[in-house]
Structure 1
């Protein structure tokens, strides 16, 4: 298709912009949608390529300065994200400390993420509280070595209730909670990832803690008028975040103890469900303050069911295809047109072992366009492909570490836009 001049003319009909200014191009794309989204999901096809969060920063700055966006949510620890938000909105802490403690380890070392946090703090410095941009992590407190103990979240939730309610209105004592938790290392043992028998998640203590967490959450709701008046709506919202995190982690730990073949799928689904709950809470909290840009992997934000064929190195699971509903799919069903999803894709990234894409793939078709960056209207792209009689084939090269997830031709209809970068070189902006 790339060599066909007529096809190339059709391609220019579907490319919304040869995007020197990505922010403006995204804004024009959004104005073409039937509804203005409250959550705009901007996906990336792989982690670890700095050009992608730099593009995100460029888009976010434009959306804040010209389109009224007032928050960003990243695929990072939702509890640690409170540290970042306190820094960017109120100047608490130092940038070095906030980067170390406020982002998940895989994102804390990113120069683009550091620049984002620094820019947000400078943007907010002389603005009234009502006009400041806020930061949210929306991932569960789960790292590559496994989920954290629910202790941090339960202690914060219990502490909030105890600070503002009489003792008889707080269902359990802190001693009860701490006794059931025990030492953190019994929850965080990395060996649990491959040995479910080592998980505490199915123990009697964990079962009791799930009831305790449910009771504490019930009090948070039942006493919400009193609690909000005694503290603030933001303080109550943070307590809800602690409660969601505690109950979500306890469910996740229970799934870690599962010995059935469904264990991995359950874990993937539970993580995305926690992500979705956090995004819905952000949308509710920020409803009157402007839309939110959400940045995460395409597979977490897409409207379609997520599929992952496990690459070599997964032992007996190698080659198995996992299927679960992404956070984006869950949120889209709840919010309808108030959720929009723009995927990102790369042509070539040689330093990741990602070569020039086959011309019959979506990435190969887009690589035939002149220029390096484009914001693409999927409906226009689909129409051009139909007019050309072309059916794209799935891309099969996935980078040296299997970290690149290609565009799925079957998902175009559930995507509101595509940011495409034809070539990325190491250490350079796209």
Structure 2
């Protein structure tokens, strides 16, 4: 058995990973079982660089991470044109605190250096594919909604617009109405089902419909890049207003809906990126896996379809999911895994890290009963052996060291 498992292990290199896949995917999704560990982000960076430098025929020129899609435009502008400074970009271009990561900083620095002097057609691109959301709440729809209105107002007649900019501003009110942190735990604190929010949802829908209806004119009057950004504004505005609406919901399904809506926003952004060209996608395993995701929350267990499941259903073999699993994160109290877990089996291999053919491993194990590892730390989600064959591969990192960088 040990020899058979070792036969399923390969070097962690982009070319080796590609050989594990049934076809060349437009979206190669690399998951992680925990956030905030630069060792895992360094590995992500290595694989992206290898996809760019050594797998050029595959055309991978975009990396998308689990960060605010609107803020990500700041990073993309910097890596493509040098707009702003690296410090400014790291402060303003990431959500969830990701800008403080040394590995993320190195990724942005490397992308900018690679792009310098290259034609636009050969440049690397950066994208956030999460909505402007945090687990504690959601952003105001102002930025996305007003950006969409501004784009359209500059290119179509005023008589076609469903409202004026002043009308939008009046209905939006102050941003702190939307970002009230009490709303996540208390639906009555949300403005998402107010009369103003309802009117904004209709206006956002009308603006997106106008954007679609005027596509030939808009492509003649502006670049495809600008039109695609306007579509991002539209997706984000309608997604945020929908999310805020359900934040005000009092039914038992409230958190299930909110978790699902976040991944729907992610999925729509990923499908838009797939239409542009092949991309490496990086996020928590639960957002990229093909099976249903679940989480234990204050009101009980919630289950929803992840962005990866939604995208996989649309793209088929054009979507590939490689999960990352780890042996230890000792500085988080995650010690040597039990031998009857997936992590325990892989921990017995001599390599510090390896890429595993997940389906071959599942076939090798046959009827061998493995259990899901339990974690003493809430921030780490162990690999579920029941879904081994649902992954295209596994990247296993034996020991995750504590980052010594700031």
Q: Give the TM-score taking structure 1 as reference length.
A: 0.91
Residue of structure 1 equivalent to 2:169? 178
CA contact (8 A) 1:13 1:384 kept: no
| Aligned counterparts of 2:246 and 2:154: Cα–Cα separation in 1 | 33
CA deviations over 1:90-148 (Å, ceiling 9, x no partner): 11110000010001142111000000000000000021110001000000001233101
| Aligned counterparts of 2:48 and 2:127: Cα–Cα separation in 1 | 14
Shift of 1:279: 0.3
Shift of 1:12: 1.1
| Aligned counterparts of 1:134 and 1:29: Cα–Cα separation in 2 | 22
| Aligned counterparts of 1:31 and 1:373: Cα–Cα separation in 2 | 17
Residue of structure 1 equivalent to 2:32? 44
Shift of 1:294: 0.2
CA contact (8 A) 1:395 1:407 kept: yes
Residue of structure 2 equivalent to 1:96? 87
Residue of structure 2 equivalent to 1:346? 326
Deviates more, 1:328-337 or 1:407-416: 407-416
- Is 2:12 aligned against 1:27? no
| Aligned counterparts of 1:427 and 1:248: Cα–Cα separation in 2 | 35
Residue of structure 2 equivalent to 1:425? 401
SS at match of 1:340: strand
SS at match of 1:381: helix
| Aligned counterparts of 1:399 and 1:14: Cα–Cα separation in 2 | 29
CA contact (8 A) 2:31 2:285 kept: yes
Question: Structure 1's 46 and 353: CA in aligned 2 closer, same or farther, altered over 3 A?
Answer: same
Equivalent pairs counted in the alignment come to 402
| Aligned counterparts of 2:401 and 2:128: Cα–Cα separation in 1 | 29
Correspondence for 2:148 among 149, 157, 165: 157
- Is 2:238 aligned against 1:250? no
| Aligned counterparts of 1:302 and 1:195: Cα–Cα separation in 2 | 30
SS at match of 1:164: coil
- Is 2:288 aligned against 1:301? yes
Residue of structure 2 equivalent to 1:145? 136
CA contact (8 A) 1:88 1:117 kept: yes
Shift of 1:32: 4.0
- Output aligned runs, 1:346-365, within 5 Å: 346-365=326-345
In structure 2, the gaps of 5 or more residues are none
| Aligned counterparts of 1:151 and 1:339: Cα–Cα separation in 2 | 33
CA contact (8 A) 1:51 1:428 kept: no
Q: Give the TM-score taking structure 2 as reference length.
A: 0.97
SS at match of 1:264: helix
Residue of structure 1 equivalent to 2:223? 232
CA deviations over 1:147-169 (Å, ceiling 9, x no partner): 01101111100000011112112
Residue of structure 1 equivalent to 2:111? 120
Residue of structure 2 equivalent to 1:222? 213
Shift of 1:428: 6.5
Q: Pairwise CA RMSD of aligned residues?
A: 1.2
| Aligned counterparts of 1:160 and 1:268: Cα–Cα separation in 2 | 30
CA contact (8 A) 2:20 2:392 kept: no
SS at match of 2:97: helix
Residue of structure 2 equivalent to 1:408? 384
| Aligned counterparts of 2:20 and 2:38: Cα–Cα separation in 1 | 29
Question: Structure 1's 35 and 128: CA in aligned 2 closer, same or farther, altered over 3 A?
Answer: same
SS at match of 2:54: helix
- Is 2:325 aligned against 1:373? no
| Aligned counterparts of 2:403 and 2:63: Cα–Cα separation in 1 | 25
CA deviations over 1:236-282 (Å, ceiling 9, x no partner): 00000000000000000001001111111110000000000000011
Residue of structure 2 equivalent to 1:3? none
Correspondence for 1:168 among 159, 166, 170: 159
CA deviations over 1:317-360 (Å, ceiling 9, x no partner): 2xx22100000000000000000000001101110110111110
In structure 1, the gaps of 5 or more residues are 1-6
| Aligned counterparts of 1:425 and 1:199: Cα–Cα separation in 2 | 41
Residue of structure 2 equivalent to 1:67? 55
